[in-house]
Amino acid sequence: MSQRTALASLPTPRPPRYDTRHHDALVVMARGLDVPGWVVESCLRSGREVRIEPAAGAPEERIRTLTALAGRSVLITGPPDEDRSGTPRVVAAVRDLPSDARVLTEAAAAAVQLGAVVVPVHGVPLSFGERSVGLAEALARGHRVLDAAVERLTAERGAAGLTILPRLLRVRPHELVGEELDADLLVLGGPRPRIPARIGLVGGSAVQHAPCPVLLAARPA
């Protein structure tokens, strides 16, 4: 058998279904080995490794652990909300693009696996007031960010047919991720891998107050 014939007989490598931008592992902060099934399926499809990090008890300890994991995507699991019904919702908090592009990639992969709609959200603070200078531009910028988010989501590999419901909200960014959040999964940008790494107000609020699992997507330095 010639070398060309031998090479032709080899199976064609199957490309990953989702483009994760990086080939790093997804870190899951869970109790024991309780990794959600949708995470296992999604990572199997993409060839992505899953690493388990023991869930910290106290909020301060959890923040320190997340800071040490800066530069990686981290899912913080939580108990399922048995009272929720209907189509699942994956909320993606987007402050700016392209820095939050990975947020959309993670949200799309999760939504496809969960059979969920994706809700990209952007907040414009109420403190602008209706006649404040800069309010019109802030709202226009918010709509531009959401338009770009929808465009990126529709371009994600494996996300054809995904339902996308963008929302521009008049709230402070950290209020987007509080106890009133209507979501089955919240995805937002994690801490940047720099010295010193730190979790900002929005990320800290999500980790401590979001009523659902939180996925902190890796962000560039």
For the chain, give percent helix, strand, coil, nearest 5: 35, 20, 45
Average pLDDT over residues 193-197: 75
Containing domain of residue 73, as a range? 21-217
Alpha helices in 21-161 (DSSP H): 37-46, 59-68, 101-114, 135-155
Other beta carbons within 10 angstroms of residue 4's beta carbon come to: 8
Q: Does residue 9 lie within any of the structural domains? A: no
Strand pairing report for 73-76 and 89-93: unpaired
Quickly state the pLDDT bin for 148 (edges 50, 70, 90): very high
Residue 95 has pLDDT above 80, yes or no: yes
Q: pLDDT, tens digit, for every residue of 9-61? A: 434 333 333 344 444 789 998 876 678 889 999 888 888 999 988 877 777 78
Q: Does residue 141 lie within any of the structural domains? A: yes
Distance in angstroms between the alpha carbons of the first and the last residue of the chain: 50
Average pLDDT over residues 178-201: 84
Of 60-69, 103-112, 205-214, highest mean pLDDT: 103-112
Q: Does residue 194 lie within any of the structural domains? A: yes
Q: Which residues of 183-207 are buried (b: 16+ CB within 10 A; e: fewer)?
A: bbbbbbbbbbeeeebebbebbbbbb
Rounded CA separation 216/66 (Å): 9
Q: Does residue 2 lie within any of the structural domains? A: no
Cβ contacts of residue 66 below 8 Å, gap of 6+?
A: 29, 74, 76, 190, 191, 199, 203, 207, 216
Q: Does residue 11 lie within any of the structural domains? A: no
Rounded CA separation 72/100 (Å): 14
Rounded CA separation 219/22 (Å): 11
pLDDT of the residue at 75: 94
Domain harbouring 108, CATH code: 3.40.50.620
Q: pLDDT, tens digit, for every residue of 50-81? A: 998 887 777 778 888 888 888 899 999 876 66
Domain count, the chain: 1
